[in-house]
Amino acid sequence: MFRRRLLSLGRRPKVKAIVGCVFLFLGIVLVLQYLLPRQDEFQVHQDESGSFQRTKLVIERIRNSLLQTHRQHQEKSHHNEPDLGEPLPQVPPPSLDKRPKNDSTYVIHKDPTSALGGKASSPQTCQAIVSRDPWTTDIRMLDLYHDADFVDEDGGAWKQGWNVQADPSMFSASKKLKVFVIPHSHNDPGWIKTVEEYFETQTRHILDNAVDFLSANPDMRFIWAEMSYLSMWWDSATSSQREQMKQLVQGGRLELVTGGWVMPDEANSHVWSVVSQYVTGHEFIKENFGSSVRPRSGWSIDPFGYSSTLPYVLKGIGLNATLIQRAHYVVKRELARNKKLEFYWTQSWESQTASNVHAASATGPSSLLTHLMPFYSYDVPHTCGPDPAICCQFDFARMRGISSLSCPWHRPPQQINARNIGERATLLLDQYRKKATLYGNNVLLIPLGDDFRYQTANEWTAQFENYQAIFDYWKRNPELNVEGRFSSLSEYFDALVESDKTFPSLSGDFFTYADIHESYWSGYFTSRPFFKRLDRVLIGYLRSAEILLSLTLTQMSKRGIVVSSTEDAAVPPWTKEVQALVRQGQQSLGLFQHHDGVTGTSKTYVMEDYGKKLGSAVTGLQQVIQLCTSFLLSPSRFSDPASIPASPPFLVDDPRPSFHSLESHTRITISTGSPAPIVLFNPLTFPRQEVLTIRIFTSNVLVRQMGASSGFIPSQISPVLNDDGTFLEGTYDLSFLAHVPALEEPEYPKSRNERRKEEPEHVKKLKIRNKRRKEESEQAEKGRAGTCEEIENPEQAEKGRTGTSGERKSRNERRKEESEQAEKGRAGTSFSTYVVLTATTEQEGRAQFPKISVLSSLSNPRRGAMWPAGLPPDLPPEELGSSFSLGNSKFTVMFKDGSPVLYRSQSLKEEQPLNIEFSSYAGGKSHSDPSGAYLFIPSGPSKPFHRGLTDWSYVLMRGPLVSQFIKTSVSIRGFLQQTFTVYESPGLDGLSLEIENQVDVTGQRDFELAMDVVAKDIRHGETFFTSLNGFQVQTVSVRFSNWRIRRL
């Protein structure tokens, strides 16, 4: 039996890996991804009934949200009303006005006038909503970056600040300094070691000792942020250890902060991945500690800069406050001077509210109380006060005999005893008072920890006993006007809110981070791009698999099949397997959001470990998609619920031998008389209409919708290139215009007779098959179930056909019919025209592409056409000179000497000169810091990365649906292929020029390759725009001085 192929439209299948993709519209780069998540998608429900576990908790909720949005769209469009979906709380209504001068943020909304989401002609599904800030926040980060004096000056003990002086008058008997010391241990789930190596050698011991020490010492506190490690510990812990941990967490002595699977990066991560890893962590907490335990406070001390998307997400998942650390030292200095290190982090596009009595000005509904640590790092020397040499003396894990750590200032900690208690307690109090002046408040947060701390019982004891002695001394001396205690993070924020302090509002982000000098942490924005892209591939598969699994479990329940039970034997094994695979995908995606994962800043072998996990997750989710789709469309194949079909009828069109490999198409064989079905799944809440491409072994095909009585779908046959720019023999790309409705809840039929009228609309079925005579095609369609599209081969063997000779039509008659259909717009398959321009020796044509023109330069090209013998081209190629064009009905891009030089908009009647070239940077140093995975420090301006025209091979292909210009170069400097693609489509893909780069520069060192897009008539000055996690577009200001990057 034939095997079907499944395409998920969560992302467009690609022949080649996309290293860089630029969408040009009048020179402005704008990438819009999916829809804005609604706030209710971030909620973790505590009262879920049933026991679908993660699937019931998350997938059903997301599914219901999607279905509700789609139903609302249907109801409104039925009454010819605009479909606004469910916008984010308090967001201004969709509009597109000119951007005010002071605006800093674009918010991406569903376009109510979209042809894909409503009844209008515009093909957009989203648009950037540009509006002035509803109110002026007290601190606008864009203004701060513009106005601050970025001077690296020596501030004394606090190198990046100033000589801070304590103000004893701030405190009194009625307003004592309240010190909250928060023990913590930062555990990276991968960096120098893999997550498993860290767990076995370090993290396991930290959590073991935490349970023992906290159980024996009720006054001690501890916080924990990484649920991935806690999950590993939980799986290996004894029942006694689990019960102790549960009591500590429920009692608040061990606080689970943030609750994410990891502490995520905030620059490279997509908002969907961030939300997913938070939900994964929160679900672990609920399953093992009960619904009464919910994280209340955020803890983010190590990501390399902070996005304004994250406070919105954190507020949405139920957090009341958060703490951050790695901001530019100049930003910290400016906020500290004005005592504004604690603020309400606000979205600039939200409507104001005056409901928060602790805000100095009105704040938005998702504003989050935020604490910014003032000093260089989150270790003990840089958290107790402005003088690290003194603070290090109060990290008692550095005493001799406790650990291998020491103080670099050569003044080691002293064991607290009766002889030195007065002097030690007063010295520490002076640092605390100085730090308190930076916040202007009597409530003070003091972190006590560092990376992988508290591994031994001796460290626990040393920190607890010495600090407790100091706290007791302060208590015995009330004239000091200070109180000290061990605390959880939420206990500190509770006390802060109870104080009489008011806090300013702040809008904007904290990029780009610099910790010292001019060492800007922007290198990780692009480090290891292969892994960054694999992360995005996994997002698409996970989204599709979660939705399909939810639909599958729901349908199984309706059919009376047990899908969740305390008795494992009652649950079909295959459903447990697919749920486990989805959970593996969620955890693998979540793990890679770690700030040393998706950033690409881990050791090479650790990145390889991440890659294996990502690749395994992709493979597992493909299996989930295969099985769930098989059940939803063919429940009869699962007549025995306990068994999995030996041969899943669907293959996912994305095979990859290993995580190192680029994905490729499944090549489909279309035998004479045998159909090859294709199923398209749209996991989004709006219809998709775009050009899709699949790979086939034959060129003579037609595409039709299965079950439709009308003609064929527009399609196009194109050759396939090898990496060296030559054609791959006997292999073709079939492109066709696909339209798949939005996701909606289907009622699946119980019998074959019900299939036609109850076919689910969120799945589109297609078939690839040999082309038959018109009568035979119509006869084959009779009684066929479902809504499909077919691709037929015109060369049908006559042998074995039924019917009289008089009923048969000659080949010429059939071709005449096809020609008539094509003229009426009903027949669909066209063949690309092509021109090959190369400086190499002539190549011979192969297979169905017998004519290949070979040129010595771009100046005198000859044209060629890829057409089966006997079929004339309906789109003849132009005579080409050194200039040519690619375009569709909406825009045209002119090329000269192999590079684009002009963008012309047909609709706006405007032209934009542009230039796209490659350039390179050589690695440099800032003081002692070299350019690398973390830092981007070029040695000087970029240099053109020129390769002569003879170093390239060129292929120009044109067709009614897809046109491409492909440049390939293979040299000692590495492999480089650049593909420019234009789609003739009414969907989003028809709005832009797609640029795809494949680059292999593994042989280069201290080398950065960039693609420069220069639009000459756009005067942006120092202002650019950047996407924040695919959620909002932020204004960015750039300042240059002697090639020292001030703000990227």
Which residues are catalytically annotated?
A: 302
Q: How many CB atoms lie within 10 A of CB 612?
A: 15
Structure token pair of residue 716: 């196009």
Location of structure tokens 């192999």: 898
The overall longest dimension of the chain from CA atoms, in Å, is 117
Structure token pair of residue 223: 């916080």
Structure token pair of residue 167: 């103000």
Distance CA 142, CA 507 (A): 9
Q: Which of 373, 334, 371 is nearest to 497 (CA)?
A: 371
In this structure, are strands 943-944 and 910-922 parallel, antiparallel, or unpaired? antiparallel
Structure token pair of residue 646: 């030996």
Q: DSSP per residue over 40-103, as a string?
A: GGG---S---S--THIIIIIHHHHHHHHHHHHHHHHHHHTT------PPTTPPPS-BPPPPTT-
Q: DSSP per residue over 622-673, as a string?
A: HHHHHHHHHHHH-GGGGSSTT---SS-SEEES---SSTTSPP-PPEEP--TT
Distance CA 52, CA 288 (A): 15
Distance CA 56, CA 54 (A): 6
Residue type for position 517 = H
CA distances (Å), 578 to each of 386, 417, 452, 585, 614, in order? 53, 60, 35, 10, 17
Distance CA 542, CA 55 (A): 12
Structure token pair of residue 863: 């044209």
Q: How many CB atoms lie within 10 A of CB 557?
A: 14
Q: How many CB atoms lie within 10 A of CB 121?
A: 8
Contact 936, 523 (CB under 8 A): yes
Strand ordering across the sheet containing 790-792: 650-652, 4-8, 676-681, 763-768, 790-792, 702-704
DSSP 203: I
In this structure, are strands 974-983 and 994-1000 parallel, antiparallel, or unpaired? antiparallel
Question: 1015-1020, long-range: CB within 8 Å, 24+ apart, which pairs?
Answer: 1015/24, 1015/26, 1015/27, 1015/903, 1015/912, 1015/913, 1015/914, 1016/912, 1016/913, 1016/914, 1016/915, 1017/27, 1017/912, 1017/913, 1018/26, 1018/27, 1018/28, 1018/912
Distance CA 840, CA 653 (A): 34
Residue type for position 382 = H
CA distances (Å), 858 to each of 703, 879, 881, 885, 956, in order? 36, 12, 7, 14, 11
Q: DSSP per residue over 248-259, as a string?
A: HHHHTSEEE-S-
Distance CA 819, CA 482 (A): 92
Q: Which of 284, 293, 299 is nearest to 224 (CA)?
A: 299
